[in-house]
Chain A
Amino acid sequence: DTGVSQNPRHKITKRGQNVTFRCDPISEHNRLYWYRQTLGQGPEFLTYFQNEAQLEKSRLLSDRFSAERPKGSFSTLEIQRTEQGDSAMYLCASSLLGPRDRGRSRNEQFFGPGTRLTVL
């Protein structure tokens, strides 16, 4: 399978517990993104990496959230002291930032299957 993979696919936890999700991007992709999606909404950006550097974080990303991409390959997203409001689908996407197309980068993002988090 050469697509984006995410583990686990489902996670049920109790409020206050810590959880960690993993994302493996498409192998040659240098950019990796985390999004969160709740029912009836589009995905909301959380953070992204170019190689191992975390380039941007959303204001949605509270200090309970941390993401890493230590070797520029897979990434982890950790949520500490989970709250019921954290229940959502956590989506990972990857892209290849390559040659520009007429001054615009062809940065198509491809999503993994997601990790559905339920906080009880």
Chain B
Amino acid sequence: QKEVEQNSGPLSVPEGAIASLNCTYSDRGSQSFFWYRQYSGKSPELIMFIYSNGDKEDGRFTAQLNKASQYVSLLIRDSQPSDSATYLCAVPPGASGYSTLTFGKGTMLLVSP
């Protein structure tokens, strides 16, 4: 059973701070990693993906991947109240990378004004 683990939270940060969300995965063969944002009552929205070790930046978001440690994280700089949502880490099984996604349970982020 391939697993994706996330702290359920909530993670509370003040407006303007950096929010750090973490995810570990069990399948050493996984090659691609996705972060989705899900507002309450809505469907998941893709916000970042990363394939290579290291950092990938997109606006206020930075994804970090460490395959040796089987760890992927999402940093949100200058957090805004509108960032309050559940963040889901998703990993396709195996080395192919183009198949189904296994999701973590998500981490709820609360950004206070």
Q: Mark A31-59, 1 if CB is under 8 A from B, else 0.
A: 00101000011111100100000001010
Residues of chain B lying within 8 A (CB to CB) of residue A107: 32, 92, 97-99
Closest residue of chain A to B34, judged by CB?
A108
Q: Complex: how many Å from CA A27 to CA B106?
A: 29
Contact B99 A56 (CB under 8 A): yes
Interface majority SS (helix, strand, loop, mixed), chain B: loop
Count residues on chain B whose CB falls below 8 Å from chain A CBs: 27
List residues of B (98-113) whose CB comes within 8 Å of A's CBs.
98-106
Q: Does B60 lie at the interface of the complex (its beta carbon under 8 Å from any beta carbon of A)?
A: no
Contact B46 A109 (CB under 8 A): yes
Known interface pairs A102-B51, A107-B97, A107-B98; A42-B105 also in contact (CB < 8 Å): yes
Q: Complex: how many Å from CA A33 to CA B90?
A: 14
Contact B43 A113 (CB under 8 A): yes
Contact pick for B100, options A56, A105, A106, A108, CB 8 Å: A56
Contact B44 A43 (CB under 8 A): yes
Contact A104 B43 (CB under 8 A): no
Contact A108 B103 (CB under 8 A): no
User: Smallest distance from the beta carbon of B78 to chain A beta carbons, Å?
Assistant: 25
Contact B100 A91 (CB under 8 A): no
Q: Mark B21-65, 1 if CB is under 8 A from A, else 0.
A: 000000000011010100000111110010100000000000000
Residues of chain A lying within 8 A (CB to CB) of residue B96: 105
Q: Does B72 lie at the interface of the complex (its beta carbon under 8 Å from any beta carbon of A)?
A: no
Contact A91 B97 (CB under 8 A): no
Residues of chain B lying within 8 A (CB to CB) of residue A45: 100-102
A-contacting residues of B (Cβ < 8 Å)?
A: 4, 8, 31-32, 34, 36, 42-46, 49, 51, 88, 90, 92, 96-106
